Amino acid sequence: MVYLYKVPFSMQKDTIIKEYKTSIENGLTSSEVNRRQKHYGLNDIKQKKGTHFIIMLLGQFNQPLIYILLFASVITAFLKEWVDSLVIFAVVLVNAVIGFVQEIKAKKAIESLEKSLSLEANVVRDGKKQRIQASQLTIGDVVFLQSGDKVPADIRLVQVKGLQVDESALTGESVPVLKNTEAIEEDTILAERTNMVYSSTLVTYGVGAGIVVAIGNDTEIGKINQMISTADILETPLTKVISRFSKLLLYVILALACLTFIIGVLRGENLVDMFMAAVALAVGAIPEGLPAALTITLAIGVSKMAKRRAIIRKLPAVETLGSTDVICSDKTGTLTKNQMTVQNIVTTSNSYEVSGIGYEPEGDILINNKNINPQDNLVLKECLIAGMICNDSNVVLKDNRWFVEGDPTEGALLVSAMKSGLSAESIKKDLPRLDTIPFESEYQYMATLHENKELQNNIVYVKGSVESILTRSSKILQLWGEIADLDVDKFYEVSNKMAKKGLRVLAFASLIVDKSKTEITHADISEDLIFLGFQAMIDPPRPEAVQAVQTCHRAGIRVKMITGDHELTAISIAQKIGIIKNDDKFTEIQVLNGKRIAELSDQELIDIVEDIYVYARVAPEHKLRLVKALQYHGDVVAMTGDGVNDAPSLRQANIGIGMGIAGTDVVKETADMILTDDNFATIEAAVEEGRGVYDNLVKFISWTLPTNFGEGLVILLAVITGIALPILPVQILWINMTTAILLGLMLAFEKIEPGVMHLPPRKSNQPILSSSLIIRICVVGILLCAGAFGFLKFAIQMGRSLELARTLAVNIFVFGEIFYLFNCRSLRHSMFKIGIFSNPLLLFGVFIMILLQILFTYAPFMNKAFHTAPIELLDWLYVLIPGIAIYSIVGVEKYLRKKFK
């Protein structure tokens, strides 16, 4: 970040005021504001000049597969097959438009950052307080903040009173941060700069004032904008594989077409005839249906994932999920509920467990796994009342979900009291509040004075940090209301044990005062408080996340937690979820914090990143470095996020996963996938769907290529042997287009095969077709060629017409594909194991294809359009023989491969 002077958070507040030449009372003068605005610019985020939209659109055509399709479109137009030419070109155009639209949407992320600065600010200028547009702020402006304000710039605080700021969108910190004005060390990480507030964070409590030290692109959020702009947009594993496959296919097709032309010319054939033969081979070898199948299969995957609460914004992300090696997950709200929950209560009499998670007031208070009635335990009841009544927040039910209005910590205290049967409305009626001392960083506690209608005295309840309460307490309330001396050391030890488990511990005390007392001061509660106990809370892990993490581990996917929270909290949650083992000791090998990451060079981080599973107190630039370090090892990285701070790393990751509920607009625009329930378990479900989608794509490719290979072979063989073309170009187009739509695309509806989540992730450099599949494709292609060529020659030798022989050859290809389609329903099993009727759409497609072939064979207008002729009933036996052979041979091959694997 660029500051006017040295790091402002390391400077004393008096020095800040002096160095920035401003005044808390008077602020800047109007003339000085104008001068500084001309020098520093306005407080808005500048965008880099983007690529022109025409260049972006043309870039969508710059792919080898698109070259093949454009070539096919030109060839079919040359053959005056205008409909086929337009259909192929339409496929190209649709794919280009989809890519163009997705790229435009991705650029909206930075625009969302600009919108985040469209707010107002309270400042003092020329000695007068005034409200101005945040964009008009400049360096040195004095800004006043209060609860509910969105911070308009990066500000060094010089005055605070109980100021708390929600920085979760920027740092990932799960609870509001208490601010102060004290100078801190220069190397303090972002999440621990307690004398600074940052642009776009939210004031949740208290008031404060400070001096603007950074605006626009120089703010922390502006720096994130720069990282979004510079983050690499990586090719997905699928686009890489398809690109390599398409290039290879392009070269093979051109080589075979040239070879066909040369062989024919050398045999003395007519040049025009040989050119048409080369064209026929090229048309036959091009898998026209592949791009459409790719897009539709991915789109079907999108639909399936939406039903499982994952919204896909970018189609290739569907398949990328299936090859994910590492999931880098935020803790708050994804692995956890993002709802602080009291789990333990400690009083003088006992230690209690509290069941239930989140803000739903459902659960029990237990001791030794047995329910107790808090109404029969005076000290426990008083501890719960203190948490409920010394409290400024509310828990409300909206749309069948419980929400906290106010501070999450106070919400947790309300819920724990409600679980015991206490009613906030009833308690507040019995103990009306008379006065309040709000929470301030200097004192670390909050106190409320209440009228006690049942007694002759009033009562003060105090809640705060362990130290602030224990140092002011001298007595303790016991089980039946007796007052005894407090053993302070004992309770310090208890609180330390809970803190080491990652729990946030709050202490509670009370004080009986005279009935006439209606106001309280800090002096009134400086000593002799009656200690009531502790309530220890944590943002609990989602139960379904535990199972999802285990499933990911079985699938060979490593799960890493990246959070803005403290190390102890992160370790505790990681152990409960299963990211690390419960018996692991807390060591630096296990967890790496942001300060340590900043000290490491890129190479040092690359060397250790694979072995560490928990990262705590991380800043945005750390997340980006972590993703890049993992990708250096060849990992396919999925990254989750909800705050503005996550946007650069989401863009850099192979797949960015945004939160639909808690996520900011920036995150939703940057992400490849959005979780509508913000739940880690949904990621696991999406990974499973992604693997199923990839399997279906491989099934389609391994099904369609034998046809293209066989068609190319039959043309080449005809040229070599000097006979007429067994299949005409227009007939080839009929085979390729109709079967791709009615047969091949039906494979996209195949269900996920059992055990898919017990296989390791596919390597990003792994070819799309294994050696066994390539052999299978070649065998089927040769069988199709042999069947079509052999029966064509047989028909001609029997004195049948060339048109009839070609009709026979076309039907052999189509019915061969139908039989082979049933082989391809599973790459490993027979169709009987996965269920003959488990894909009714496929059976429907086969039925329609057979009807079309009957029409193709016998309808006079089809005979005229495609140069075919009706065949006799016995000829259908010749049509079925190659198909039956293909199904049987492939079935035996799969059985033997499985048996001897």
CA 371 to chain CA centroid, Å, is: 40
Pairing between β-strand 558-562 and β-strand 591-593 as defined by DSSP bridges: unpaired
Amino acid at 368: N
State how beta strands 310-312 and 401-405 pair. Answer: unpaired
Rounded to an integer, what distance in angstroms lies between the CA atom of residue 587 and that of residue 567?
Answer: 10
CA distance 8 to 196: 9
State whether the Cα torsion 824-702-760-650 is positive or negative: negative
The pair of structure tokens assigned to 419 is 């679980």
Distance (Å, rounded) from C-alpha 731 to C-alpha 841?
Answer: 25
Q: Which two tokens stand for residue 866?
A: 């495609």
H or E segment and range at residue 435: strand 433-437
Q: φ and ψ at 108, to 5 degrees?
A: -70, -15
Residues with Cβ within 8 Å of 699's Cβ and at least 6 positions away in sequence, in order, are 747, 750, 824, 825, 826, 827
330 included as an active-site residue: yes
Query: Hey, CA dihedral for 245, 246, 247, 253, is it positive or negative?
Result: positive
Residue 740 and residue 693 in contact, taking contact as beta carbons nearer than 8 Å: no
d(CA 855, CA 880): 17
Residue type at 373 in one-letter notation: N
C-alpha–C-alpha distance, residues 106 and 656, integer Å: 12
> Distance between CA 637 and CA 658 in Å, rounded?
14
Distance in angstroms (rounded) separating the CA atoms of residues 289 and 755? 29
DSSP 483-494: EEE--HHHHHHH
State how far the Cα of 809 lies from the Cα of 727, in Å rounded to an integer.
Answer: 7
Of the listed 44, 84, 325, 330, which one is catalytic?
A: 330
Q: Give the pair of three-digit tokens for residue 228.
A: 């979004």
**One-letter identity of residue 64:** P
Give the SS3 label for residue 770: coil
With beta carbons less than 8 A apart as the criterion, state whether 672 and 651 touch.
no
Q: Tokens for 25?
A: 């009372």
E strand intervals along 645-699: 655-659, 673-675
- SS3 (DSSP) at 169: helix
Q: What are the residues whose beta carbons fall under 8 Å from the beta carbon of 872, sequence distance 6 or more? A: none
Alpha-helix residue ranges (DSSP H) falling in 420-565: 424-430, 466-470, 488-500, 543-554
Distance of CA 538 to the CA centre of its chain: 24
Rounded CA gap, 599 and 513, in Å?
54
* Token digits of residue 416: 């724990």
Give kind and range of the element (H or E) at residue 256.
helix 237-266
Rounded to whole angstroms, how far apart are CA atoms 407 and 587? 32
- Give the β-pairing of 655-659 and 673-675: parallel
Helix axes 802-823 and 771-797, enclosed angle (nearest 10)? 150
Cα–Cα distance measured from residue 417 to residue 385, given in angstroms and rounded to the nearest whole number = 7
* Structure letter (DSSP) for residue 150: B
Helices (H), 407-483: 408-419, 424-430, 466-470
Contact partners, residue 472, CB within 8 Å, separation at least 6? 462, 509, 525, 526, 527, 528, 529
Residues belonging to the active site: 330
